[in-house]
A and B are shown apart, each in its own frame.
Chain A
């Protein structure tokens, strides 16, 4: 559903991506672990089409219409209501916001409240709804669990599980190995723009992966 070939990109003198190639099949959830500055966010942005790589290419089946992005920025307009926000983002994808998505994230009661009046946890759930409003087949997640409260974190995990079960693909980048391993079908370690490890999780537990990660990155 998603393929990267020979991705190379530098910002000035810093090489953010160094010959990265991989593919993600339907049903797979790839977790990319790496320290800050390893190039994880750059990789995700290239996959999303936000950055044109200087060399190499990245293809996502279905193009931008198929991509859903969850990052630490909620991308919601504080002055508009939940309904108005979701309506706006949905209109850019030429769809209508699905009622069951709103229900599943427990947002029906808050739909006509302005986003700035919502608690942090609620805003996080609205942000997740925004990302999924067009029923994307590929999910790209940039440190998605950072600052999420328990309710939102659980909702997100359930969602990712359902997404994979429906035969769709996800790429999740994070520096938190413990949190990310549980959701992943495949694991990669990234350092200085390169993949230094890329393999199916194959039953490895969070602790084991974390150990391998520390050895690989140290």
Chain B
């Protein structure tokens, strides 16, 4: 029970801070020169994208350890991380076009990062579909772990592809070798947003984990 409460508190704080990010981004951060007002989506879009990919890595790592230890907590964590990752992917895939339309003139372009976030989303959906298609909990955990590990190993290839294709996408200015090229207050807002999304990830995963655990307990007592 406490897991759930802790999760709710973390999420509540994170959502509050998210509102703070909005305020800061809209009112206290300068408008970017070439892209204009639409650029402000960047403060949501990029941290969400970072966590969408990171969540997949966590799914993979938890899956590897699960296959060795068969500890159901790891499976529960992997499933929770996958669900949260799916949500973050959805955020990226909706903020991307909102950012892109004013700048590129089109809602969707097959630009490398958007395309591969779409495939990350497909990986997640596949993972969740597989979980729902297998009734036996033991087999479900094993199969999900196999898929999770494959998904995690796919991520580096996806990353490599982003740097190899010519793209409409703004080249990464934060996650690049050397110091980030963002001017001071923009960097602060961005880092703040990254922190908030980290908190959101933790809050959502803890809640989802707790719900998963409670549901299993319910099934056991029903037997």
Chain A residues packing against B (C-beta within 8 Å): 11-14, 54
Contact = CB atoms under 8 A, between A and B. Distances in A.
A14 B223 contact: yes
A11 B137 CA distance: 8
Nearest to B137: A12
- The secondary structure that dominates the B interface is helix
Contacts of B70: 54
B141 to A, nearest CB: 11
Nearest to A54: B70
A15 to B, nearest CB: 9
B136 A13 contact: no
A14 B219 CA distance: 11
Interface in B83-136: 136
B219 A13 contact: yes
A13 B70 CA distance: 16
A13 B220 contact: yes
Chain B contact patch, size range: under 10
A126 B166 CA distance: 62
Contacts of A14: 223
B172 interface: no
A14 B70 CA distance: 18
B220 A11 contact: no
B156 interface: no
A11 B223 contact: no
B138 interface: yes
Contacts of B219: 12-13
A14 B222 CA distance: 11
Nearest to B223: A13
Contacts of B138: 11-12
A12 B141 CA distance: 11
A109 B137 CA distance: 47
Contacts of A11: 136-138
Nearest to B222: A13
Interface string B66-92: 000010000000000000000000000
Nearest to B219: A13
Nearest to A14: B223
A54 B137 CA distance: 14
Interface string B202-223: 0000000000000000011011
Contacts of B137: 11-12
A164 B136 CA distance: 37
B14 to A, nearest CB: 34
A139 B55 CA distance: 48
Contacts of B220: 13
Contacts of A12: 136-138, 219, 223
14 contacts: A11-B136, A11-B137, A11-B138, A12-B136, A12-B137, A12-B138, A12-B219, A12-B223, A13-B219, A13-B220, A13-B222, A13-B223, A14-B223, A54-B70
Nearest to B136: A11
Nearest to B217: A13
Name which of B70, B136, B138 has the most chain A CB atoms within 10 A of its CB: B138
A13 B136 CA distance: 11
Given A12-B136, A12-B138, 12 more contacts: A11-B136, A11-B137, A11-B138, A12-B137, A12-B219, A12-B223, A13-B219, A13-B220, A13-B222, A13-B223, A14-B223, A54-B70
Name which of A11, A13, A14, A54 has the most chain B CB atoms within 10 A of its CB: A13
A217 B62 CA distance: 43
Contacts of B223: 12-14
Top 4 closest A-B pairs, CB basis?
A13-B223, A13-B220, A12-B137, A13-B219
